[in-house]
Amino acid sequence: MENNPEYSSWETDKVILYDSPLSSLIVRKKQQIKVVEKKIVITEQNKKYTELETSIMREIDSDHVVRYLHHKHKPEEKALYLYMQYYPKGDLEDFLLKNPKIDFRKRLKMLIDILVGLMELHSRFIIHRDLKLKNIFVDDQDNCVVGDLGIATVTEKSAISRLGTVGHQAP
């Protein structure tokens, strides 16, 4: 899939969702097909997380975990591009800010979607380690999907670690 011509030479609409020194998230569109392109600058520090994120995303085929499409490595840029399914309603934090009066049943259904995604990860001994509203995405049917597996880990048994976004870490 890495050299898939479907994605390699797009003349695209491009919307930058965020841009930082280590990664950026870009939405690209061609003929009603939308993907998220995540550019990750490869450094020694984040190389293992990038490789693990790619392998986890390739392994999982689920309606409750972000869908991996393909990736492209550009050594000249020291970058890896991950192409993932686009979720049109954005992340859950923005969705809730735009829709503050969601009824209880819909909120409960969204919570169940998230829990099913986590169960699917945990059944494969994958621990997310950075679960927050910004890392949960909402599709066009208001289903929630767990995403951003950038610091996830795979373990054979229960593991305890202090890693994640400050303010969202487990105590």
> Alpha-carbon distance 153 to 48, whole Å?
10
In terms of phi and psi (left: phi > 0; alpha: psi -120 to 50; beta: otherwise), the region of 74 is beta
Using left for φ > 0, alpha for ψ between -120 and 50, and beta otherwise, residue 165 falls in beta
Residue 147: how many other CB atoms lie within 10 Å: 24
Given the residues 19, 61, 94, 130, select the one marked as catalytic.
Answer: 130
Distance CA 82, CA 10 (A): 15
Residue by residue, DSSP assigns 91-109 as BHHHHHHH-TT--HHHHHH
Active site residue 103: no
Q: Which residues does the annotation mark as catalytic?
A: 130
